[in-house]
Amino acid sequence: MARSSATGDEVVLRVEGMVCAACSSAVERALLSVDGVQKAAASAISGQAVAALEGGVGDTPRVAELAARAVRDVGFEAEVVAPRDGRAAAGAPLRAPASDAPPVGSSSARFVVTGMTCAACSSSVERALRALPGVAAATVSAATEQAEVKYDAAVVSPGELRSAIEDAGFGAEAALDINDTVADLEIGGMTCAACSGAVERALRRVPGVTDVQVNLLQASAHVAYDPLATGTRDIIAAVQEAGFEARPASAATGAGAADERSKKEVAMWRRLLARSCWFTVPAFVVASVCPHIPAAHAFLDDHVGPFRLHSVLMFLLTTPVQFWVGRRFHLGAFKALRNRAANMDVLVSLGTNASYFYSVFAVIYGAFTPFQDTDFFETSAMLITFILLGKYLEVMAKGKTSDAIRKLLELAPDKATLLEVDKDGAVLSEEEIDAALVQTNDVLLVRPGGRVPCDGVVLHGLSHVDESMLTGESLPVAKGVGAEVTGGTVNGHGALRMRASRVGSDAVLAQIVRMVERAQLSKAPVQAFADVVSSIFVPVVVALSLLTFVVWYVAGREGLYPDDWRSQGTD
């Protein structure tokens, strides 16, 4: 909700949901449509927009509120942040601010959430997170299995956020503040909890380290730090001084872990689908094909004790599908109902159990009474099988969402050449190091044809750099002393000596990756509407089912059925 706090000549808006240039253009057009707005600029990277007001506008707060409303009307969340003092110089280009300092105590964390199967699941996680005090916003995507939470660190902790997700019936992997610069390390030599404690204490003693998570089972550490105070080399040195081995994890570790989770998920659904087909295909043949073959029909009409052979075979073929293959749906429904939510698992479990247990009752009742039983065993088995097929296709498509991030990460080089220079700039030594070990203010050498290891400023040399990965322009750009270079771009024929200015999560390439992740996590207005519909879909279907049952039951009790509707042996 917008706060009408602006009283200057420029109004700054925080806009959520912009993921590309088309989004920022839509926001700019919406702002320019407001009476009193002269110029507008929006940035998808910073998530902000600036509206310059015409001279003589008396009621600035009213115009600010209208501007925020116009942005919301085109499908984005908008909030008036603050005014800017003074007027833009005549003819000067208006630019959206490059960054927005969050309020004191404001933090953002991202979690990997497992066990979500539909939009109703993601809505359940969102409600659980938003119910916590101190949580300002929560966005959950079932497709990417991620949750992003904005919260007040003075009121609620990441551990409490994780517990809320788990209490809602889903799994959650802990995450540090997504605004932090982080280092992922592989730790060697840890054998017990005391070892992991020693590593954590050593890391926390490093000046500039703000948070540490050490995982003994995975032999890894996740460290958040201030890049102006320390760097990856200092952090690794602290672990080594504590008596353990340490090295930076692969630059593509995050994407690789996502790929590994995706492959495991695809394999699990493929396995469940295969198991279901083993039983469902024969059940379909017995139920739908054999009755049209006289010999098979006569054979299935034989009895095994008081039961028809057809009913016995269907019971044996569908029971494993209902309770072995379909077990995850029943467990998911139980967890959802326990948390007072209704997702698609509830609908699947309810429908298949109704079909299965009615069939069991009808077979047993028909075996000892004149009632001519009609079973629906194949309905429950085929329903579970088709749902598993849909889930299998869904996870295969979902697995492709990490391809963009993986390809972006592949642009970053693995190695960098570190130079040691004296106060006059003369090179004293040269060493090839892992690119993840580069720290702010390091002096680096970029050889002809090599990739720039991080963002920085050229200190010596002249060359042309291919920046097509950023701009799409194939023509190389000339770079000389004082020019800025971007990590991941390709150097031309000249050697460059540069000073690192932005490394890790501060680099442009890392910011692009975060934008892609944010785009995958964000929801379009129509998707938000679909989530609302899905959240009430299951309760509505269940209510209609109960109403249908009541109507048919009352009609039967009152004898309103025609005689030809009644099965043989019923009254």
pLDDT (tens digit, 9 = 90+) per residue, 165-215? Answer: 888 778 787 555 555 677 788 888 888 878 888 888 899 888 888 888 888
Helices 309-320, 377-398: crossing angle, 10 deg rounding: 30
Q: What digits encode the pLDDT tens for the residues 367-386?
A: 887 777 678 888 999 999 99
Residues 9, 84 contacting (CB under 8 angstroms) = yes
Integer angstrom CA distances of residue 561 from 173, 471, 545: 56, 73, 19
Partners of residue 185 on adjacent β-strands: 221, 248
Does pLDDT of 448 surpass 70? yes
SS3 161: helix
| Secondary element (H or E) of residue 474 | none
Per-residue tokens: 531: 């989530």
Nearest to 469 by CA among 481, 448, 482, 452: 452
Does pLDDT of 5 surpass 70? no
Nearest to 110 by CA among 154, 165, 155: 165
Name the residue with higher pLDDT: 215 or 531: 215
Q: Mean pLDDT throughout 112-128? A: 77
Distance CA(261)–CA(254), nearest Å, equals: 11
Mean pLDDT is highest, among 95-99, 133-137, 396-400, for: 133-137
Place of tokens 């030599």: 189
**Confidence (pTM):** 0.57
